[in-house]
Chain A
Amino acid sequence: AQSVTQPDIHITVSEGASLELRCNYSYGATPYLFWYVQSPGQGLQLLLKYFSGDTLVQGIKGFEAEFKRSQSSFNLRKPSVHWSDAAEYFCAVPNSAQGAQKLVFGQGTRLTINP
């Protein structure tokens, strides 16, 4: 079955520092991959997506992610974080075994920014 693992439940970084959030997936073929962000009290917002082609994808808010098939990973990066990036981040992969365009989400990584 498809699954997504986000190994880090909580990460703290200083404002201006670089960021990498990890995501590992289990999937039978080349997957579609997604990162979502959830600010406190808000719904989830799509940050970026990978469907095919260039393995480095750019998203909104200055984020990027790199698909590495050999490592089954899709890590999210940002070169310099801002206080407004404090949020929870979710990685997701299609649950294609059951159709209906369903996604499987990781447990999330909560990002705290130190001033």
Chain B
Amino acid sequence: DAGITQSPRHKVTETGTPVTLRCHQTENHRYMYWYRQDPGHGLRLIHYSYGVKDTDKGEVSDGYSVSRSKTEDFLLTLESATSSQTSVYFCAISSATYEQYFGPGTRLTVT
């Protein structure tokens, strides 16, 4: 299995608080992605990175920001969490063949 970890694995937070989710890889892959998964919506891309300090928006980026200061780490930040951001968040990595490998996910609940 690809070496991808996500932390935390579970988090409960209150509306209006900032939250940062971390994705860490040991594969030295260039591309990294953050998705959210919700019933009835499948997987939706939030942000992605194509190199250190190179990031771009996905289809559901409002309310989220990302940073990638090192190849191995990709951070997703919710500046002010809302109940609509309650979801399961997955990180994925890819090399140059479109294959993506997924982390175990973070279940976030915003109360």
What range describes how many residues of A lie at the interface?
A: 20 to 34
* Complexed CA–CA distance, A3 and B48 (Å): 19
B43 adjacent to chain A (CB < 8 Å): yes
Q: Mark B41-78, 1 if CB is under 8 A from A, else 0.
A: 11101001010000010100000000000000000000
Q: How far is the CA of A94 from the CA of B42 in the complex (A)?
A: 16
Contact of B48 among A43, A51, A100 (CB under 8 A): A100
B100 at the interface (CB under 8 A from A): yes
Asked if residues A101 and B102 are in contact (CB atoms below 8 Å), the reply is no
Q: How far is the CB of B78 from chain A (nearest CB, A)?
A: 20
Contact (Cβ within 8 A) A101 B43: no
Interface residue from A34, A107, A108 paired with B99 (Cβ < 8 Å): A34
How many pairs of residues, A versus B, come closer than 8 Å at their CB atoms?
A: 53
Give which listed residue, A36, A45, A103, contacts B98 with CB less than 8 A. A103
Of B58, B96, B98, B102, which is within 8 A of A43 by CB?
B102
A43-B105 in contact (CB<8A) = yes
B interface footprint on A55-98 (CB within 8 Å = 1, 0 otherwise)? 00000000000000000000000000000000000101010000
Whether, in the assembled complex, A46 has its beta carbon less than 8 Å from a beta carbon of chain B, the answer is yes
The reply to whether B31 and A100 form a contact with Cβ atoms under 8 Å apart is yes
Query: Is the Cβ of B105 less than 8 Å from the Cβ of A94?
Result: no
Q: Quick check: A44 and B102 within 8 Å, CB to CB?
A: yes
Known contacts A43-B104, A45-B102; A100/B42 CB under 8 A: no
Residues of A within 8 A of B (CB): 32, 34, 36, 41-46, 49, 51, 90, 92, 94, 99-103, 105-108
